[in-house]
């Protein structure tokens, strides 16, 4: 039997506000446990939540960026449940009237574009954290995270493979960072994903029963967890069983999912409008004001890079994967005045390669854009060859010197004096009569030997084009 996979993602993005969604407590990550949860976050008697306007603006900004309907009227609701990291006994969320309605996001998998629907995005507060590692036989509770603003972004069940799910998650991650509404730090849990997965016989119209996998906090694990879950469900069905609707936990260490609880229904939560909070009205004027703050979005930037810089799809994708990288590339182009493809090659190849190896972000690059531009200028004006440039690049990576300083102090300037190159060529020809004879006798490969000798003699500093031309002239058959 051939199976088709159906996936819908729920992504929680922590909004990058300084204070919490309903209180003035700090959202900064990494403080001593339980030092950043105030009476409002804990829901102590006698306190009232006050909505953080910045969080609302960020949600609207997101909605506008995915072409979604922004609800003119939305409502906060209490979602009631007990858990040790939620001492209030309810989470303030949105249920029937979320702030962001239907929108969409385009992804690309294996060169094919696909549109993924975004059902809704709503504002809610995060819960605290349960800590198990340092507490043998006990659970520690850190409530610092309680009340941190979250935007929960719910997709339509539009994805058909783990690869598509990862592509969607990456696009969303890229977008929230472009919009500067979320820092996207997945280790710190600022961007987390729950994956709903089901399978159905290919061709069947109805969806199969889904399981929801929680606790996935990296792109790699999303792909692994989903693929694992697909196999599990197919095994269950082919073994004569039925998939049960449940919440499963992904264990990255064991690379498996295991059942956490049977799936709760919305009515289990006893949702009701939060009597402490007023409904949110979004006027057109506010929408327009926020619309005006939208940056150039990734898709538009990518198209501009293809049109204006003649980049191919892959290079444009890579270079627009973050605003910082795109800015870096553009300033290298501007400052070096070099051919855009050469700039793109150096940034996506040498620079990103070195950054990846060192596990650094573009913003942490030891080579600033001015210095890389300086290097490329010297290749373009023939001061150094591309090969020597790699050597200069390595030196620049290690220190603070400019390309010019390195070229000067190491004597790496290309030999442009054709008299000097000619003298070297003459000596090499005189010293290698056998090879000369072979070449003249028709053995083309020997030509490379001569080029190699000249490069060796000049320590790579002779202009390769020039060397070729001269050798051809001297070894005329």
> Interface residues with ligand ADP (CB under 6 A)?
6-10, 154-157, 196-198, 207, 210, 212
Classified as helix, coil or strand, 414 is: coil
The size of the chain, in residues, is: 477
> Of the candidates 24, 161, 37, which has an alpha carbon nearest to the alpha carbon of residue 87?
37
Terminal C-alpha separation, the chain: 68
Q: Is the Cβ of residue 193 or residue 355 nearer to ligand ADP in the bound state?
A: 193
Distances (CA, A) of 93 to 23, 75, 97, 390: 15, 9, 10, 54
Q: What is the dihedral of CA 41, 44, 47, 48, to 10 degrees?
A: 50
Q: Tell me the C-alpha distance between 256 and 243, whole Å.
A: 16
Distance of closest approach, residue 233 Cβ to ligand ADP, in angstroms = 10
- How far apart, in whole angstroms, are the C-alpha atoms of residue 467 and residue 451? 7
Between residues 6 and 297, which has the closer beta carbon with respect to ligand ADP?
6
Compare residues 128 and 208 and give the one whose CB is closer to ligand ADP. Answer: 208
Closer by beta carbon to ligand ADP, 166 or else 343: 166
> What is the SS3 assignment for 247?
strand
Least CB distance from residue 366 to ligand ADP, whole Å? Answer: 41
Name the minimum Å distance from CB 264 to ligand ADP. Answer: 8
Residues 6+ apart with CB under 8 A from 413: 383, 384, 407, 461
CB of 94 to ligand ADP, least distance (A): 12
- State how far Cα 257 lies from the chain centre: 25
Candidates 173, 124, 131; CA nearest to 20 is 124
CB of 210 to ligand ADP, least distance (A): 4
Comparing CA positions, the residue from 83, 22, 8, 93 lying closest to residue 52 is: 22
**Spatial CA neighbour of 173 closest among 229, 216, 225:** 216
- CB of 177 within 8 A of CB of 322? yes
Q: Which of 171, 65, 176, 79 is nearest to 125 (CA)?
A: 79
What is the number of the residue whose Cβ is closest to ligand ADP?
8
Least separation in angstroms between residue 167's CB and ligand ADP is: 15
Q: Rounded CA gap, 427 and 447, in Å?
A: 15
Q: Which is nearer to ligand ADP, 52 or 196 (CB)?
A: 196
Q: Which is nearer to ligand ADP, 155 or 383 (CB)?
A: 155
Compare residues 171 and 378 and give the one whose CB is closer to ligand ADP: 171
Residue number, 41 or 124, with CB nearest to ligand ADP: 124
CB of 91 to ligand ADP, least distance (A): 13
Nearest to 449, CA basis, from 414, 421, 388, 437: 437
Separation of alpha carbons 305 and 319, rounded Å: 9
The residues, ordered by sequence, that sit 6+ positions from 306 with a Cβ below 8 Å of its Cβ are 312, 313, 316
CB of 243 to ligand ADP, least distance (A): 10
Cβ neighbours of residue 336 under 8 Å, at least 6 residues apart? 343, 372, 373, 374, 376, 377, 380
How near is the Cβ of 157 to ligand ADP at its closest, in Å? Answer: 4
Give whichever of 207 and 447 is closer to ligand ADP, judged by the CB atom: 207
In the complex, least distance from residue 96 CB atom to ligand ADP, rounded to whole angstroms:
12
Q: Which residue lies nearer to ligand ADP by CB, 184 or 208?
A: 208
* CB nearer to ligand ADP: pick between 10 and 395: 10
| Closest distance of CB 209 from ligand ADP, Å | 7
């Amino acid at each position: 039997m051939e199976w088709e996979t159906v996936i819908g993602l729920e992504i929680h993005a922590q909004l990058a506000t300084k204070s919490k969604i309903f209180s003035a407590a700090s959202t900064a990550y990494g403080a001593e446990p339980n030092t950043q949860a105030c009476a409002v976050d804990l829901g102590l008697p006698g306190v009232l939540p006050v909505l953080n306007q910045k969080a609302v603006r960020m949600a609207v900004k997101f909605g506008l960026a995915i072409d979604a309907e922004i609800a003119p009227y939305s409502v906060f609701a209490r979602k009631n449940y007990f858990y040790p990291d939620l001492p209030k006994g309810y989470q303030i969320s949105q249920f029937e009237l979320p702030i962001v309605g239907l929108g969409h996001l385009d992804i690309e998998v294996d060169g094919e574009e696909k549109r993924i629907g975004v059902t809704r995005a709503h504002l809610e507060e995060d819960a605290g954290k349960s800590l198990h590692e340092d507490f043998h036989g006990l659970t520690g509770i850190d409530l610092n995270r309680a009340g941190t603003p979250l935007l929960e972004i719910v997709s339509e069940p539009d994805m058909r493979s783990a690869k598509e799910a990862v592509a969607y998650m990456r696009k969303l991650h890229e977008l929230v960072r472009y919009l500067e509404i979320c820092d996207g730090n997945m280790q710190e849990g600022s961007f987390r994903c729950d994956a709903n997965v089901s399978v159905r016989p290919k061709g069947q119209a109805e969806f199969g029963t889904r399981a929801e996998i929680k606790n996935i906090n990296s792109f790699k694990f999303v792909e692994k967890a989903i693929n694992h879950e697909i196999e599990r469900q197919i095994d269950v069905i082919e073994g004569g069983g039925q998939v049960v609707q449940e919440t499963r936990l992904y264990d990255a260490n064991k690379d498996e999912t295991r059942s956490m609880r049977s799936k709760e229904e919305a009515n289990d939560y006893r949702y009701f409008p939060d009597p402490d909070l007023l409904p949110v009205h979004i006027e057109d004027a506010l929408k327009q004001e926020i619309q005006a703050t939208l940056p150039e979005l990734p898709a538009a930037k990518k198209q501009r890079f293809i049109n204006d810089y003649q980049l191919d799809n892959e290079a444009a994708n890579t270079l627009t994967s973050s605003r910082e990288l795109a800015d870096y590339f553009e300033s290298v182009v501007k400052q070096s005045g070099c051919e855009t493809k050469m700039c793109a090659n150096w940034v996506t190849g040498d620079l990103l390669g070195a950054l990846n190896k060192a596990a650094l972000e573009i913003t942490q690059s030891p080579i600033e854009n001015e210095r890389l531009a300086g290097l490329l200028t010297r290749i373009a004006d023939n001061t150094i060859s591309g090969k020597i440039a790699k050597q200069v690049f390595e030196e620049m990576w290690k220190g603070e010197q400019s390309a010019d300083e390195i070229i000067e102090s190491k004597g790496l300037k290309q030999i442009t004096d054709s008299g000097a190159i000619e003298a070297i060529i003459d000596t090499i020809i005189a010293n290698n009569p056998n090879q000369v004879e072979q070449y003249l006798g028709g053995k083309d490969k020997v030509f490379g030997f001569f080029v190699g000798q000249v490069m060796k003699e000049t320590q790579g500093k002779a202009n390769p084009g020039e060397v070729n031309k001269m050798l051809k002239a001297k070894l005329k058959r």
